[in-house]
Amino acid sequence: MKRLKIALIPGDGIGKEVLQEGVKVLKTIDKIDNNLFFEFEEFPWGCDYYVKNGKMMDDNGLEQLKDFDAIYLGAVGHPSVPDHVSLWDLLLKIRKGFDQYVNLREITLLNQSLTPLKDKSEEDIDFLVIRENSEGEYAGVGEWMNKGTPEEVVLQTSVFSRKGTERIIRYAFEEARRQKKSLTSISKGNALNYSMVFWDQVFNEISQEYPDVKTYSYLVDAASMYFIKEPERFEIVVTTNLFGDILTDLGAAITGGLGLAAGANINPERQFPPMFEPIHGSAPDIAGKGIANPLAAIWSVAQMMEYFHEGNWKDYIIESIRVLLKEGRYLTRDLGGKSLTTETGDRLIEILTQMV
């Protein structure tokens, strides 16, 4: 029997609303599967916490989280707290503190009606983006000189270490080999004449160790065009922190929008807990109305099951989402329906329960 401790961080806005639905799915799995048992502990961290306590999470927050098997996060962000504070002091603190250097984002179209791309179907849009998640453009290194003067200069430095670059690229090659798929590196070696020349060099070096993996290498601008015009080119993609952030929102847009897109933050050595989250934010424009789409948060649960080596549950959850989309009767507004968050979640659980 597997006893798994899950730390819940609902966060702000719709984060709280969608996480509740994901927890319902976890409880359903717990009930059906005699081998799986989940224990939950909730942490009230986020912007409300900041307004009351002057910080996004407890000072020893990472210490409190480190013995959990997984962290399940809703979303953080509220107009009362600057976005760079809420992001850096909670989400990025966890990603960096727990060395979750792999970010996995599945770009999978589950129903043709959800893509704005003409003539593209489920077979054309089905790939995995592996985003570097610990350094690169989001290393937080820089300088702000002569602030407020005409001589003001701001530097934002990207950091690409050999260790950091090799490990993400090697992870991607291993994944491509395991899945017997091609691997595409997305970079920008023509303009970023240090960092991306280095990235391309490391990609080439490591590719020598994987002669069985077919590789492609694109500039990020061309790749953005291919995401739209020929998404069928991609199977496994590896890219940097910034490019991955932007490209996966584009990936979300061609597969049904932010209401469906999930991301896993993983430390592959499993020295620290992983974190699973919908990639959308706290959506202040619709928060509190009960109309947020819970499917991204539920997809995160599928990714969590894969991490726990419970691939069957992952498949069941994704198939249940596929059925729900096909039925079309219990969709939230962002997908053209009228259902509330809880109604969509409840229907998903009915489908899942019938399927297993």
Cα gap 53→47, rounded to integer Å: 10
**Residue 274's binding partner out of Mg ion, ligand NAI, none, with CB under 5 to 8 Å set by partner kind:** none
Cβ 281 to ligand NAI shortest distance, Å: 2
The runs of H, that is alpha helices, within 234-285 are 241-253
By CB under 5 A, residue 132 contacts Mg ion: no
Cβ 185 to ligand NAI shortest distance, Å: 25
Cβ 308 to ligand NAI shortest distance, Å: 22
Cβ 48 to ligand NAI shortest distance, Å: 13
From residue 46 to residue 85, what is the string marking binding to ligand NAI with x (rule CB under 6 A)?
A: -----------------------------xxx-----x--
257: which 2 tokens?
A: 């929008």
Among 282, 300, 339, 344, binds ligand NAI (CB under 6 A): 282
C-beta separation of 261 from 253 below 8 A: no
From residue 90 to residue 129, what is the string marking binding to ligand NAI with x (rule CB under 6 A)?
A: -x--------------------------------------
Cα gap 83→281, rounded to integer Å: 11
Residues 288-307 contacting ligand NAI, CB under 6 A:
292-293, 296
Number of residues that bind ligand NAI (CB under 6 A): 23
* CA of residue 349 relative to chain centroid, distance: 22
SS (H, E, C) 279-339: CCCCCCCCCCCCCCCCHHHHHHHHHHHHHCCCHHHHHHHHHHHHHHHHHCCCCCHHHCCCC
CA distances from 270 to 95, 188, 245 (A): 13, 31, 23
By CB under 6 A, residue 283 contacts ligand NAI: yes
Cβ 83 to ligand NAI shortest distance, Å: 4
Nearer residue to Mg ion within complex by CB, 245 or 343: 245
Cβ 21 to ligand NAI shortest distance, Å: 10
Cα gap 188→295, rounded to integer Å: 33
**Residue 131's binding partner out of Mg ion, ligand NAI, none, with CB under 5 to 8 Å set by partner kind:** none
**Residue 132's binding partner out of Mg ion, ligand NAI, none, with CB under 5 to 8 Å set by partner kind:** none
**Residue 245's binding partner out of ligand NAI, Mg ion, none, with CB under 5 to 8 Å set by partner kind:** Mg ion
Helices and strands (H, E) in the chain, number of each type: 12, 12
Q: Give the type of residue at 322.
A: R
Cα gap 258→241, rounded to integer Å: 18
Among 12, 137, 245, 306, binds Mg ion (CB under 5 A): 245
Nearer residue to ligand NAI within complex by CB, 202 or 266: 266
By CB under 6 A, residue 16 contacts ligand NAI: no
Cβ 280 to ligand NAI shortest distance, Å: 3
Cβ 339 to ligand NAI shortest distance, Å: 11
Nearer residue to Mg ion within complex by CB, 250 or 323: 250
Q: Give the type of residue at 41.
A: E
C-beta separation of 242 from 187 below 8 A: no
144: which 2 tokens?
A: 């702000």
State the DSSP string of 204-228. Answer: HHHHTT-TTS-EEEEEHHHHHHHHH
Q: Which residues bind Mg ion (CB under 5 A)?
A: 245
